[in-house]
Amino acid sequence: MEKPEKQFQKPVILGLLTLILLIGGYAYWRYLQTHISTDNAYVNAHSIQIATQVSGPVLTLFVDNNRTVNQGDPLFDIDPAPFEHALHKAEAQILHDQAHLKNAQTNLDRVAKLVDKKFLSPDEKDNAVTAVSVAAANLKLAEASLAQAKLDLEHTHITAPASGIINNMILRPGTMVQAQVPLFVLISNQQFWIDANFKETELKNIKPSQMVSIVLDMYPSQIFHGVIDSISHSSGTAYSLLPPQNATGNWVKVTQRIPVKIMVIDPNPEFPLRVGATASVTVLTHQTPKT
């Protein structure tokens, strides 16, 4: 027969274990309510497609793939010779049209005096006025052509429109490039964010300005911090190439995922972020950024 003390201890111990489990379960439930996580998340940044505004062969290349550049740094040059020739031709046309306009104005003055003295008919003056108008119009066209020639020559020197990292660069000197055709990508390193896809059932407590803890798979020991910038108003499949046809007879209810944009507020140069890298994020629904 067990001692009375042991008989008394069993329900007490069982009660304590039950209480601990209940407290632990409640604490875990509360944690899940204030810490909403997903590993369906990816690093993103602004990507700029680099293209030229003029066509021609690449003369000089100043950068290579995966190199960091600053805004205004030279990227490459297109052979400027044809554009320099076009500029000289436009300058010569300006001089020609200026001389033509001057002659037309001189002739108008002469004809006007002769018309006043009745030596010529008024029609001759009208013709002279028309000649001046045509010469002036030709000069304006020549000035426009000169401005375009200068602009085209400037466009043979391509510079970085923003600071960032060169990606998908395959250019080499001698490559013939066409205007408006993308050549490579410049990934801006000024701003990074995480595209996190949360289940629609998790969005109830997720709001803009909430703080987020971010861990990248490539840097598992480094914690980044972010803040929710915006929540998409459509699911990830809404604008896909082949969206699901929910009106068909074989419809199956599937929990959708909604993209959430999370701005990274403390990027670390020692742990460079890379577009497309996978991440795990935890939204701290009880925290907002300090102002």
Please check whether residues 236 and 161 belong to one and the same domain.
no
Residue 276, pLDDT > 80, answer: yes
Q: What is the mean pLDDT of residues 174-179?
A: 95
For the domain that residue 73 is a member of, what is the CATH number?
Answer: 2.40.50.100
Distance, in Å, from the CA atom of 21 to the CA atom of 27, rounded to the nearest integer, reads 10
Please check whether residues 63 and 94 belong to one and the same domain.
no
- Domain count for the chain: 3
Residue 218, pLDDT > 60, answer: yes
Enter the tokens of residue 249. Answer: 């007879």
Confidence of residue 291 (pLDDT cuts 50, 70, 90): very low
Please check whether residues 279 and 200 belong to one and the same domain.
yes
Distance, in Å, from the CA atom of 52 to the CA atom of 73, rounded to the nearest integer, reads 15
Please check whether residues 41 and 150 belong to one and the same domain.
no
Q: What is the span of the domain harbouring residue 103?
A: 80-155
Please check whether residues 196 and 275 belong to one and the same domain.
yes
HEC sequence for the chain: CCCHHHHHHHHHHHHHHHHHHHHHHHHHHHHHHHEEEEEEEEEEEEEEEECCCCCEEEEEECCCCCCEECCCCEEEEECCHHHHHHHHHHHHHHHHHHHHHHHHHHHHHHHHHHHHCCCCCHHHHHHHHHHHHHHHHHHHHHHHHHHHHHHHHHCCEEECCCCEEEECCCCCCCCEECCCCCCEEEEEEEEEEEEEEEEHHHHHHCCCCCEEEEEECCEEEEEEEEEEEEECCCCCCCCCCCCCCCCCCCCCCCCCEEEEEEEECCCECCECCCCCCEEEEEEECCCCCCC
Confidence of residue 290 (pLDDT cuts 50, 70, 90): low
Calculate Rg over the CA atoms of the chain.
Answer: 36
pLDDT tens digits along 117-157: 888 888 888 998 999 999 999 999 999 999 999 999 999 99
Residue whose pair of structure tokens reads 């009745």 in the numeric block:
118
Q: Is residue 268 part of a domain?
A: yes
Residue 18, pLDDT > 80, answer: no
Q: Is residue 213 part of a domain?
A: yes
pLDDT tens digits along 182-205: 999 999 988 999 999 999 988 888
Q: Is residue 8 part of a domain?
A: no
Residue 31, pLDDT > 70, answer: no
For the domain that residue 134 is a member of, what is the CATH number?
Answer: 1.10.287.470
Confidence of residue 114 (pLDDT cuts 50, 70, 90): confident
- Helices 122-154 and 81-116: crossing angle, nearest 10°? 160
Enter the tokens of residue 57. Answer: 């062969």
Q: Is residue 114 part of a domain?
A: yes
Q: What percent of the chain has pLDDT over 90?
A: 64
pLDDT tens digits along 60-99: 999 999 999 999 999 999 999 999 999 999 999 999 999 9
Q: Is residue 169 part of a domain?
A: yes
Instruction: Tell me what pLDDT residue 121 has.
Output: 84
| pLDDT mean across residues, the chain | 87
